[in-house]
Amino acid sequence: MRQKASAELLALLNKGIASEMQVAIQYMWQHVEWSGVKGYAAHDAFKDIAIEEMKHAESIAERLFYLGGTPTTKPEPIFVGKDLRGMIDQDRKDEENAITLYKKIIILALKEGDETTANLFRGILSDEEDHHDTFTSLLEQV
């Protein structure tokens, strides 16, 4: 028996997919583009977090599809930036937006009795908080 989800929850899951695709591309491009001594610590963080974000997009898309929705293929607008500080500051803000969105999804999923979606997003939320912490720490170094 497939669980039904509200149109609102499906739309929020699609927003999550679009956001995860955005930052996966954004962080990977930043990884490719940035070099130099100041960027050394950020270089690997960009790549590692980009891979995690793509995995999040996949997990959310699988859940959305299970719930009867059609996963989006369009990312949110991508921001690369001109300097390392600007990149990392934008990334920190993007993680803050994800944290806010995922808390909203967890609350709505629980309201709809969808413990599986809530659990999925609890795990992703924990990762996003770690990403936020990474970018906040990197900002202190540049």
CATH number at residue 88: 1.20.1260.10
Residue 16: phi, psi to the nearest 5?
A: -60, -45
| Residue 1 maps to a domain | no
Residue 38: how many other CB atoms lie within 10 Å: 14
| Residue 63 maps to a domain | yes
For position 33, what pLDDT does the model report?
A: 82
| Residue 24 maps to a domain | yes
| Residue 46 maps to a domain | yes
Round to whole Å and give the CA distance between 58 and 20. Answer: 9
| Residue 116 maps to a domain | yes
Contact 2, 68 (CB under 8 A): yes
Structural domain span for residue 59: 7-69+77-141
For position 40, what pLDDT does the model report?
A: 73
Per the listing, tokens 């149109």 go with 7
For position 37, what pLDDT does the model report?
A: 66
| Residue 81 maps to a domain | yes
> pTM for the complete prediction?
0.93
Number of domains in the chain: 1
For position 16, what pLDDT does the model report?
A: 98
Instruction: Provide DSSP, 27-51.
Output: HHHHHHH--STTTHHHHHHHHHHHH
User: What is the full per-residue pLDDT of the chain (142 aa) written as tens digits?
Assistant: 567 899 999 999 999 999 999 999 999 999 888 766 666 778 889 999 999 999 999 999 999 999 999 999 999 999 988 888 899 999 999 999 999 999 999 999 999 999 999 999 999 999 999 999 999 999 888 7
Residue 12: how many other CB atoms lie within 10 Å: 22
| Residue 2 maps to a domain | no
| Residue 25 maps to a domain | yes
